[in-house]
């Protein structure tokens, strides 16, 4: 009898742990969910290129055009979830609007089969990165900054960014693409080339 009661207690304890464990996981998932509208906007703004030589992967690049609407949605979501307060949100919104007037921003996650090739941020990089202007010129970036995934506050927006990719923030001067209705971004090197295109609609 004592053995049966002991086994019943153990079973109930395990059931309680399982239930509370599942509840805990569900709470975590709910907290980190990104609104569907933002997910859809992010997916629409991601372009992917893969370059192979024979059966070998040379590089894989996922590039995201970070437009004003997505940035504002990210700030609003962060405020609603309590990740930032209203003062921080107002400051971030003002900075976002200011940056939108000055630059065009892309976030790229790049894998190369040889890590030495993944040097986009260097002045002597093997890669030439350029954006086409409305009058057909190709301009160089204002900046290319290497980022660390664990330090990106908005990393949850970008499921295509993984630890095995190098991450870069690439910006171009907005004044050079005034009037553009599309963006064409290129990566060129001796190991391969890639082109990424976005229809942005309306003038910029």
Give CA–CA dist 187/53, Å, rounded: 17
Q: What is the pLDDT of residues 134-155, one digit of tens each?
A: 999 999 999 999 999 888 888 8
Average pLDDT, the chain: 82
Confidence of residue 35 (pLDDT cuts 50, 70, 90): low
Alpha carbon dihedral 93, 94, 96, 100, in 10-degree steps, equals 140
> Can you give the residue ranges of every domain in the chain?
43-66+96-199
Query: Can you tell me which residue has the tokens 């086409």?
Result: 132
pLDDT over 90, % of the chain = 50
User: Which tokens go with 159?
Assistant: 């499921």
Confidence of residue 26 (pLDDT cuts 50, 70, 90): very low
The enclosing H or E element of 178 equals none
The segment with the largest mean pLDDT, out of 6-10, 78-82, 190-194, is: 190-194
Mean pLDDT of 69-84: 87
Helices (H), 33-143: 36-44, 68-80, 86-102
Residues 6+ apart with CB under 8 A from 50: 57, 59, 60, 61
* CATH, domain 43-66+96-199, list 3.30.70, 2.60.40, 1.10.3470, 1.10.287: 2.60.40
Question: Is a pLDDT exceeding 80 seen at residue 127?
Answer: yes
Q: How far is CA 108 from the centre of its chain?
A: 7
pTM over cut 0.85: no
pLDDT over 70, % of the chain = 80
């Amino acid at each position: 009898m004592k053995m049966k009661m002991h086994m019943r207690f153990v079973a109930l304890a395990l059931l309680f742990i399982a239930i509370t464990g599942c509840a805990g996981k569900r709470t975590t998932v709910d907290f980190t969910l990104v609104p569907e509208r933002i997910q859809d906007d992010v997916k629409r703004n991601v372009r992917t290129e893969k370059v192979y030589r024979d059966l070998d992967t040379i590089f894989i690049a996922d590039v995201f055009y970070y437009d004003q609407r997505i940035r504002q949605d990210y700030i609003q979501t962060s405020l609603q979830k309590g990740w930032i307060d209203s003062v921080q949100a107002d400051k971030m919104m003002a900075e976002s609007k200011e940056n939108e007037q000055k630059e065009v921003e892309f976030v790229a996650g790049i894998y190369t089969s040889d890590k030495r090739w993944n040097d986009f941020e260097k002045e002597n990089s093997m890669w030439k990165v350029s954006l086409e202007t409305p009058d057909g010129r190709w301009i160089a970036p204002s900046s290319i900054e290497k980022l660390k995934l664990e330090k990106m506050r908005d990393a949850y927006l970008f499921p295509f960014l993984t630890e095995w990719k190098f991450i870069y923030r690439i910006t171009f001067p907005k004044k050079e693409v005034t009037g553009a209705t599309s963006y064409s971004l290129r990566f060129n090197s001796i190991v391969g080339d890639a082109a990424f295109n976005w229809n942005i609609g309306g003038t910029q």
